[in-house]
Chains A and B, each alone.
Chain A
């Protein structure tokens, strides 16, 4: 046959190949074979099969779980009862149910298994494993918000077969509990927002003895019940199948967000296939995923099983408190069956399906209605972001590795030479002597104290890596103590578990053991961690835990922790138990010197925000990874862990100058702003980059420093309200549907600053979506953008960060560039003021010493700035404490040096002075006002020179 000419089919095929090639990062892909797909995870397969079966049966499917009405007992905001599960062999399994209605407005549903609660089961292989279902996740995660509602009452008007409970802050919430089949519907103001077991996928695999069947005679498919092998490792599963699963439906909701950590879009995708959808459920099983891929539901290093559903004017959420391996399926279906109305604005139901390998069902339901309500209520439970030390929100310079103490000092000196500010330099693992933590390499770091003292001269800090794997070596004191004190994680046979990590053969400290804390604490003391000074802080890496020779690069699931809990029970909280131990250790390294710890963690779970910052792990120096960092950071923000960032520049490989520059311009918008690089990459400290990129990067870093007052204020808000530090579009404009899925632009706190980092190559203009009809001004030249619900074209040459400020805000800044953020402490403020449609503006500022807990005793300044009726005023938002007066005294000399008003009233053209009235001053004074016109398209502006009003004082400036 003659060779055929290229046909249209070929062209199609070729374009397909090209298309695929565009999506694939050349040369590097994640090693899929190292990680399980749902098909390879027994309980995932079983729960998905259950869902498939239910969906195949359609309306005839009925959940085999019933609430026995005779057992229902309601008292003090809490409903108790017994769920009865009828098995295929008509066995009845009793499962105690508790539904708590909390003062905060959240509701909590717990389902356990009676037999296991009573210890009335047998564990195979003579295993020591605890017979109960793991019920201590909350010990690591919850810190409050559990007060039950006194006002929650049973609704008298309830149909038979139902128990209805009225609750909520204003009594406008209702839980409608159907007994058979069991289902709970949560209503707000009479409308259903969340449905539990509506699809009938509730599943608690009850304990059963293993029965040997003749081949082919097993009543059920049991291949994944008693043993599972993956990657050459066999899980002995001493308790057999024990997974839990539940479906949660959000009727009328089109978007769900949250459940980090995944390298995916902010708005979560469907997971049951189809164009643009995932094939696999979102997985949460903390893992060291090498060269992770983007746009994937694959698991990463951290897990927060907290999901929010959002639609116009309503946000609700659920929190699945379970520490075992978890998968989440998401399916969206049209709410109205008219297929023609499937537009972007069409209503749909989002159906989610959650299942975990072990543990209890423990679900919190939040009814909002605003994103802020959700943040607040969730934060009451899991804790708010720790107010970080001030240095921690400045620029961090990291590399694997700065090779000697002299190298560190030289990098330090170079930043000063080029007048680029930085606060923290980091040491990856090579500083240790032979990878033994709490030691220094005697050849490369002979003088660690001298190095830290040098850094301290400009109040800079050092962060060093401390991991949970302890080198298994007899002459290493940490290893000796770990063994002699019996503080290590055990294998399934109860012997010290030995695995492979950086130091080679290693053992893992078991921070679930209360006795591990005082020991871990002792290791961090200055006399034990010799060579460490008070400006040294800690980076906890590899705490998933990463085990190089373990299944899925982590520990075997049948390993044993303190309390004989299996690793499978606790895996996802393992990371934060280490962070918790480190946090306790760092609070008071020297008696009487209590400081806010700073810890960076790679692995995390809900609650990590109270103790640490996170980063997105080992990313790559590609434009795609730069782009992916924004939705990842935004997702962490709305999931209650906003102190997040990605490695600036990309960890693996060498970024070209344009990519590195754009990455800095984006990285200054990460709450955690750190540059990091792999050991095999070229040096890329910002001063090494040739001009003009060096200057552009310096400007970006200095912009971060200039805005630190606004950043610190946003961190303070996060620490008391749980609000994200950088916020996605939907969070700021929850009623603007067109913006719900936008995840490439972000808002800094409440400041009205809207940044749109450029994340694609050779892009010199971009568009910014504006939701409302306020005026937005270019941050640098005051160009005006106005028009609601539109994408506006904004110039983005390489030396410019697309950054707007919305009308109606007052943003505090500090303009004087210093070597480190600590040295800005005494500098005066500049206030940037933009007016809204009503000619008004507001903003706030939070300041404290940035390192101690004195703020808890009133040592802080918290001001509300307001502009209204031609008066700019500063009012106190703080409450007095024992240390307030002393702190205000130290800050007495710190003033406002300049107020810049963008787009002021035209009448000001003829004004030359303003009147200043400071509280306590006998007479008012005046300051100069200058008014400047600009070319058309750019707003005029006015500058108040040297008003010199005290930052901690109450004052008015009358225009």
Chain B
């Protein structure tokens, strides 16, 4: 590395601007923690590149000498040393290959009467008083273009302290609220646990009952079987059934073919309509932005995007064709076989046997609909028509079976409840389960055309203010963490992790995904939506304050985790 020797030989002409009030003078813009680098009054050693030494007179001479910018703590001369700048080799002569490591966080404003802070170098002497960061106005010390920034630290500091006091109060209040939330959450957990104990007891009782009823049913069944056996022939039952079923099937077949005809007609009309709409979609001019047209296209696209089942299912068509054919030995049900058969089985067996002869699609349908079909058969008298003689025995059996069924249902129900309660206990409600206490609480914010609503752990919504519809922006799915980019004290962008509530699968978006919302939480005394944004099409974010995420309190450390600098 070649060092500019001339620097050692020459005292550079130019003013070294130093804050004059300090006795042990610290150069302008240097924070106390960096003062140690500026002690030597003869030679200055660049902080991050100590191999570069320059005469001390070159510090704050408004020319950038150090490859890390450390020689200009009080000017903007090194403000271009940044990753964001289009640097050429000549901006850091001899050091352009060395990684840029800017040494100072910014221009240090003492802000007497308030708290000190750093102003980014790019704001030093730019003609704007940056009171927000530099209440003493020292960032414009050179008065470029006559800019005068009077010291406003007294009033700003006072105001800040007042606000800080308020914030402190608010923080205390928030922590108290948080405590209440934790207590509430704890109480809810306790209630659930108590409920679990109760349920477990009830389940035990129920299980005993079920055992008893099973035994009872078995007994009744045994008796019943004797009765059935003694009731003689069952031959005529199947024949009768076959006869009725045959008529019914014919009837259904006729109805089917009528309905199919109607369906085909409706289908072709739909096709025609869809063709009109797809043509419409291609040919309209979206740039004209006619809301009515746009809405129609949007609606059509949503419609077209939905899977509308396979209406051209040829297998199904074939099956239907098959069904529509008249029955004979080769196709459909061979009624003759059934009409001349003896049956040695009960009603449901018949149904299953029947099923073996039916086309697979219909079987599937039958399986799905078994109970309703059974009910239909029963109600139409097909199944129980010849059972007149055994009514009393059947009643006992039915009662026993029903009693058992009902108790089994109770047990199942109890078990489900228990499972739900266990699941709820295991579910993530945040640290110490604090969000349990907020679940279902709703907050709203009017912003622009809309009112936004957030119901904790349930959903987010958008409501049109000019009167109109409400739109789901997502249903709760999980508690997570989100990286938020914030500025650190030095004005660098850093990434901070914040707790977020995530909501997905809201209303579908035209030309986009289902709406979703990420609710990023910040510590605050109130549950409040601070702002909402549509980060990209139909992907929303909300910034919400709640005491639940305030650091401190009983649940342990929930302070935001800070990631490395970008």
User: Which chain A residues lie closer than 8 Å to B9 at the CB level?
Assistant: 912
State A224–B287 Cα separation when bound (angstroms).
Answer: 31
Question: Contact: B126 with A898, CB < 8 Å?
Answer: no
- Neighbour of B128 across the interface among A406, A458, A691, CB < 8 A: A458
State A341–B13 Cα separation when bound (angstroms).
Answer: 67
**Top 7 A-B pairs, shortest CB-CB distance:** A826-B144, A682-B536, A698-B84, A703-B86, A912-B6, A444-B448, A823-B126
Question: Contact: A290 with B493, CB < 8 Å?
Answer: no
Within the complex, what minimum Cβ distance (angstroms) separates A557 from chain B? 21
Within the complex, what minimum Cβ distance (angstroms) separates B16 from chain A? 12
User: Chain B residue with minimal CB distance to A679?
Assistant: B289
User: Chain A residue with minimal CB distance to B123?
Assistant: A819
State A938–B90 Cα separation when bound (angstroms).
Answer: 12
Question: Contact: B285 with A290, CB < 8 Å?
Answer: yes
Within the complex, what minimum Cβ distance (angstroms) separates B136 from chain A? 18
Most chain A CB within 10 A, of B6, B61, B493, is at B6
- Neighbour of A816 across the interface among B80, B288, B493, CB < 8 A: B80
State A419–B10 Cα separation when bound (angstroms).
Answer: 36
State A407–B485 Cα separation when bound (angstroms).
Answer: 18
State A66–B396 Cα separation when bound (angstroms).
Answer: 122
Query: Is there a chain A Cβ closer than 8 Å to B205's Cβ?
Result: no
Question: Contact: A31 with B285, CB < 8 Å?
Answer: yes
State A702–B91 Cα separation when bound (angstroms).
Answer: 14
Beta-carbon contacts of B86-101 to A below 8 Å, as 1s and 0s?
1111110110100000
- Neighbour of B88 across the interface among A618, A700, A779, A930, CB < 8 A: A779
Within the complex, what minimum Cβ distance (angstroms) separates A436 from chain B? 15
Within the complex, what minimum Cβ distance (angstroms) separates B14 from chain A? 6
Beta-carbon contacts of A906-944 to B below 8 Å, as 1s and 0s?
000000110000000000011111101110001001010
Question: Contact: B6 with A682, CB < 8 Å?
Answer: no
Question: Contact: A817 with B122, CB < 8 Å?
Answer: yes
Question: Contact: A419 with B290, CB < 8 Å?
Answer: no
State A100–B363 Cα separation when bound (angstroms).
Answer: 96
Question: Contact: B89 with A934, CB < 8 Å?
Answer: yes
Known: A444-B449, A945-B63. A706 touches B86 (CB 8 A): yes
State A817–B485 Cα separation when bound (angstroms).
Answer: 22
User: Chain B residue with minimal CB distance to A698?
Assistant: B84
Question: Contact: B285 with A548, CB < 8 Å?
Answer: yes
Chain B, range 85-130, C-beta contacts under 8 Å to A: 85-91, 93-94, 96, 120, 122-123, 125-128
Beta-carbon contacts of A792-830 to B below 8 Å, as 1s and 0s?
000000000000000000000001111100011111100
Query: Is there a chain A Cβ closer than 8 Å to B466's Cβ?
Result: yes
User: Chain B residue with minimal CB distance to A901?
Assistant: B90
Known: A502-B289, A817-B122, A913-B6. A680 touches B84 (CB 8 A): no
Known: A699-B85, A912-B6, A932-B93. A548 touches B288 (CB 8 A): yes
User: Which of under 10, 10 to 19, 20 to 34, or 35 or more describes the interface residues of A?
Assistant: 35 or more
B residues adjacent to A (C-beta < 8 A): 2, 4-7, 9-10, 12-14, 61-63, 65, 76-77, 79-80, 82-91, 93-94, 96, 120, 122-123, 125-128, 144-146, 283, 285-290, 447-449, 465-466, 485, 487, 491, 493, 511, 531, 533-537, 566
Question: Contact: B122 with A780, CB < 8 Å?
Answer: no
Question: Contact: A946 with B85, CB < 8 Å?
Answer: no
Known: A457-B128, A618-B287, A818-B126. A930 touches B6 (CB 8 A): yes
Question: Contact: B287 with A288, CB < 8 Å?
Answer: yes
Question: Contact: B4 with A930, CB < 8 Å?
Answer: yes
- A-B CB contact pairs (8 Å), 11 listed: A403-B534, A680-B511, A699-B84, A702-B84, A706-B85, A782-B90, A817-B85, A827-B126, A900-B90, A912-B9, A946-B14
Question: Contact: A817 with B123, CB < 8 Å?
Answer: no
Query: Is there a chain B Cβ closer than 8 Å to A277's Cβ?
Result: no
Question: Contact: B63 with A898, CB < 8 Å?
Answer: yes
Query: Is there a chain B Cβ closer than 8 Å to A404's Cβ?
Result: yes
Query: Is there a chain B Cβ closer than 8 Å to A864's Cβ?
Result: no
Chain A, range 380-419, C-beta contacts under 8 Å to B: 403-404, 406-407, 410, 417-419
Question: Contact: B84 with A817, CB < 8 Å?
Answer: yes
Given contacts A818-B122, A946-B14, list 16 more A-B pairs with CB under 8 A.
A290-B287, A419-B82, A419-B491, A458-B128, A500-B288, A683-B536, A699-B85, A700-B86, A779-B88, A818-B123, A826-B145, A925-B13, A930-B6, A933-B2, A943-B93, A946-B13
User: Chain B residue with minimal CB distance to A618?
Assistant: B287
Question: Contact: B93 with A823, CB < 8 Å?
Answer: no
State A443–B493 Cα separation when bound (angstroms).
Answer: 33
State A706–B145 Cα separation when bound (angstroms).
Answer: 20
User: Which chain A residues lie closer than 8 Å to B2 at the CB level?
Assistant: 932-933
Within the complex, what minimum Cβ distance (angstroms) separates A261 from chain B? 17
Question: Contact: A897 with B85, CB < 8 Å?
Answer: no
Within the complex, what minimum Cβ distance (angstroms) separates B471 from chain A? 16
User: Which chain A residues lie closer than 8 Å to B485 at the CB level?
Assistant: 417
- Neighbour of A819 across the interface among B61, B65, B122, B511, CB < 8 A: B122
Within the complex, what minimum Cβ distance (angstroms) separates B55 from chain A? 11
User: Which chain A residues lie closer than 8 Å to B493 at the CB level?
Assistant: 417-418
Within the complex, what minimum Cβ distance (angstroms) separates A292 from chain B? 11
Beta-carbon contacts of A288-301 to B below 8 Å, as 1s and 0s?
10110000000000
Question: Contact: B89 with A781, CB < 8 Å?
Answer: yes
Known: A818-B122, A826-B126. A406 touches B145 (CB 8 A): no
User: Which chain A residues lie closer than 8 Å to B6 at the CB level?
Assistant: 912-913, 928-930
- Neighbour of A897 across the interface among B62, B96, B288, CB < 8 A: B62
Query: Is there a chain B Cβ closer than 8 Å to A852's Cβ?
Result: no
Question: Contact: B83 with A695, CB < 8 Å?
Answer: yes
User: Which chain A residues lie closer than 8 Å to B10 at the CB level?
Assistant: 912-913, 928
Query: Is there a chain B Cβ closer than 8 Å to A948's Cβ?
Result: yes
State A291–B76 Cα separation when bound (angstroms).
Answer: 46
Known: A417-B487, A826-B126, A928-B12. A816 touches B4 (CB 8 A): no
State A116–B368 Cα separation when bound (angstroms).
Answer: 87
State A417–B289 Cα separation when bound (angstroms).
Answer: 34
Most chain B CB within 10 A, of A406, A817, A934, is at A817
Question: Contact: A683 with B535, CB < 8 Å?
Answer: yes
Question: Contact: B93 with A897, CB < 8 Å?
Answer: no
State A114–B287 Cα separation when bound (angstroms).
Answer: 45
Question: Contact: A781 with B88, CB < 8 Å?
Answer: yes
User: Chain B residue with minimal CB distance to A502?
Assistant: B289
State A929–B5 Cα separation when bound (angstroms).
Answer: 11
Known: A682-B537, A819-B126, A897-B77. A928 touches B449 (CB 8 A): no
State A925–B12 Cα separation when bound (angstroms).
Answer: 11
Query: Is there a chain B Cβ closer than 8 Å to A89's Cβ?
Result: no
Within the complex, what minimum Cβ distance (angstroms) separates B91 from chain A? 7
Within the complex, what minimum Cβ distance (angstroms) separates B370 from chain A? 49
User: Chain B residue with minimal CB distance to A694?
Assistant: B84
- Neighbour of A823 across the interface among B86, B127, B283, B535, CB < 8 A: B127
User: Which chain A residues lie closer than 8 Å to B89 at the CB level?
Assistant: 780-782, 932, 934, 938, 941
State A938–B286 Cα separation when bound (angstroms).
Answer: 53
Query: Is there a chain B Cβ closer than 8 Å to A890's Cβ?
Result: yes
State A812–B533 Cα separation when bound (angstroms).
Answer: 42
User: Which chain B residues lie closer than 8 Å to A502 at the CB level?
Assistant: 289
Question: Contact: A403 with B285, CB < 8 Å?
Answer: no
State A928–B55 Cα separation when bound (angstroms).
Answer: 13
Query: Is there a chain B Cβ closer than 8 Å to A420's Cβ?
Result: yes
User: Which chain B residues lie closer than 8 Å to A418 at the CB level?
Assistant: 84, 493
Question: Contact: B145 with A816, CB < 8 Å?
Answer: no
State A306–B524 Cα separation when bound (angstroms).
Answer: 65
User: Which chain B residues lie closer than 8 Å to A69 at the CB level?
Assistant: none
User: Which chain B residues lie closer than 8 Å to A823 at the CB level?
Assistant: 126-128
User: Which chain B residues lie closer than 8 Å to A96 at the CB level?
Assistant: none
Known: A815-B80, A817-B82. A691 touches B566 (CB 8 A): yes
- Neighbour of A946 across the interface among B61, B534, B566, CB < 8 A: B61
User: Chain B residue with minimal CB distance to A902?
Assistant: B90
User: Which chain A residues lie closer than 8 Å to B62 at the CB level?
Assistant: 828, 897, 946
Chain A, range 518-555, C-beta contacts under 8 Å to B: 548
User: Which chain B residues lie closer than 8 Å to A827 at the CB level?
Assistant: 76, 126
Question: Contact: B79 with A817, CB < 8 Å?
Answer: yes
Question: Contact: A443 with B90, CB < 8 Å?
Answer: no
Within the complex, what minimum Cβ distance (angstroms) separates A503 from chain B? 11
